[in-house]
Amino acid sequence: MSKRNSFLCSLVASAAFLAQPLASALAITPINITVKSGAKQAFQGLGFSSTIAGSNGYAKLTQSQKNILQKLLCNDAKFKIVRLWFDGNKYAPQPGVENMPVFVNPYVKSGFIADALANGCTTLLLAPGALPSYMKSEDSIYIKDTEIFNYATLLANFISRMKQEYGVKLHATGILNEPNDNSIRFKDSQWPVMVKALRQELDNRNLQDVKIITPELANADSIAVRIIKAIKNDSEAWKALAAISTHSYNMAAASWIVSQIEGTDKEYWMTEAGNNGPEEPGDALNAASAASRFLNDMNNRVTHWIWFIGHAPSHTEDNSTRIIPYTISPFKYQLFQKYHYFKQLTRTFDVGAVFRKSYSSLEKDMRWSSGKKPRITVASAKNPDGSWGIGISNYTSDKFFFALPAGLGYPEGTLVSDAQSGRQAETFAVTVFIEELAQTGDIKMKMYRSNSNVNNVYIGTALMRKGTVTIPKVESLDLITLRNQ
């Protein structure tokens, strides 16, 4: 069997089918969204990371070119957080070695950190991506118990040296990126030990204001719950932890994660969302995926939301990881469609916006998790200036479907889509009711729209009456936002 047929057969086993050609639906489906009373989390901003390789490319740009890229994200699109990768194995290839240039060259000497801060970014997050190989147990995939304190010391020393020697203040640090996919991991019992040791070592260096966030798992799944519970069950470790963290790929933030921090002062950092594969400008499918995950996470107590790669040298086979790919010689850059979606969202929800929990008449809590993704995702918040913002993302498209060839046991041309993707294109009339505004008078809300090559365009005003407003037409892959002035 060819590789293509083998792939298709495996896809068929887990796919959703339509037995007839897709047709654009003429009907508009009504849907009601209720924004429940009660303040949840305060939004602290969007963020992006830069890989070490990407920052080495950044070093080759002129200062004016660097300023263009950083201004596009940190200023124009109002990104506030920068996630900086730290390779512990290259930094400390053997005990006693601290190889500062592996971090300083791409991030400090290149001007990357200084330029990001100068253009409006405010928060630096350290992202340890690998442990030193000598810390691994000889007979397992886990870190040695005896090396946990040493690893905490290594991270604290590095953060201290960055501040003392280079004037770089790191505001928060992870412990290990996507630890369950790493070559060296932590046992559940080792997590609270590590958190406590790192907090102690930071405090010993007068770094009490450096936050610890963890576990930064790829998905908000049962493994994340298990690790968070392991830390929470140790009161000292839980006190030392500033924020829980997961990533937003196939399984974004969800109620089973939120339940671990309800009634606490813990923040929830979503430290990585992304796509994989090629991308071209105007790709609304990837943009709507990003917007839907953002809105899902805002409905689930996330305070800080970070896209994988902000700007980096173009990689034609994996450009969808980037918001802004560029070439160095000649210098050219592209703004992918998700850039405009993000820019629209940050003009709807200011830093400090306090989100409420929203529910849908169609898909209840609109959860972005395993299986088919929600068709409409909505989130709403009250901004610091008193205005209200609403974000609506339509993640339906006929682009999710393709025709099967003959010879696979189904009629040739049968349309199939991946079981983890979105649904057929559908247009909705979305009515949003904000409970806290039920007793208010008429409120005019400005509406904006993005889609393929439609970039945050003003489309008129909608009248909210007694907390209720209807958007009569939200089409496939639309991002519609509303905000009163």
- Mind listing the pLDDT tens digit for each residue in 111-150? 999 999 999 999 999 999 999 999 999 999 999 999 999 9
Residue of 457, 462, 455, 465 lying closest to 483 (CA atoms): 462
- Same domain for 35 and 110, yes or no, is no
- pLDDT at residue 54, as a whole number: 84
- Same domain for 120 and 34, yes or no, is no
CATH number assigned to the domain comprising residue 183: 3.20.20.80
- Same domain for 65 and 30, yes or no, is no
Residue of 469, 447, 442 lying closest to 459 (CA atoms): 447
Among the three residues 243, 273, 303, which one is the final residue of a domain in this structure?
273
- Is 51 a domain residue? yes
Domain range for 200 is 46-273
- pLDDT at residue 14, as a whole number: 46
Distance between CA atoms of residues 81 and 124, nearest Å: 6
- Same domain for 96 and 24, yes or no, is no
pTM of the complete model: 0.95
Strand 479-484 vs strand 443-451: parallel, antiparallel, or unpaired? antiparallel
Among the three residues 232, 248, 273, which one is the final residue of a domain in this structure?
273
- Same domain for 35 and 96, yes or no, is no
- pLDDT at residue 26, as a whole number: 66
- Is 292 a domain residue? no
- Same domain for 68 and 29, yes or no, is no
Q: Which residues pair with 364 in a beta bridge?
A: 360
Identify whether the C-beta of residue 157 lies closer than 8 Å to the C-beta of residue 92: no
Around Cβ 261, how many Cβ atoms within 10 Å?
Answer: 17
- Is 306 a domain residue? no
- Is 328 a domain residue? no
Among the three residues 205, 239, 273, which one is the final residue of a domain in this structure?
273
- Is 326 a domain residue? no
Residue of 17, 111, 11 lying closest to 64 (CA atoms): 111
- Is 9 a domain residue? no
Residue with tokens 């606490």: 264
Identify whether the C-beta of residue 317 lies closer than 8 Å to the C-beta of residue 277: yes
- Is 297 a domain residue? no
- Same domain for 171 and 79, yes or no, is yes
- Is 232 a domain residue? yes
- Same domain for 470 and 372, yes or no, is yes
127-166 in b/e form (b: 16+ CB < 10 A) is bbbbbbeebbeeeeebbbeebbbbbbbbbbebbbbbbeee
Tally of structural domains, the chain: 2
Tokens, residue 47: 């963020």
Residue of 359, 293, 317 lying closest to 37 (CA atoms): 359
- pLDDT at residue 55, as a whole number: 85
Identify whether the C-beta of residue 81 lies closer than 8 Å to the C-beta of residue 123: yes
Residues of the chain with pLDDT under 70: 1-26
- Same domain for 187 and 51, yes or no, is yes
Residue of 324, 385, 381, 332 lying closest to 74 (CA atoms): 324
- Same domain for 53 and 159, yes or no, is yes
The amino acid at residue 121 is C
CATH number assigned to the domain comprising residue 438: 2.60.40.1180
Residue of 251, 364, 303 lying closest to 47 (CA atoms): 303
Phi-psi category of residue 301: left, alpha or beta, with phi > 0 → left and psi -120 to 50 → alpha? left
- pLDDT at residue 22, as a whole number: 53
- pLDDT at residue 96, as a whole number: 93
Distance between CA atoms of residues 124 and 132, nearest Å: 23
- Same domain for 79 and 193, yes or no, is yes
- pLDDT at residue 408, as a whole number: 86
- Same domain for 265 and 400, yes or no, is no
The amino acid at residue 415 is L
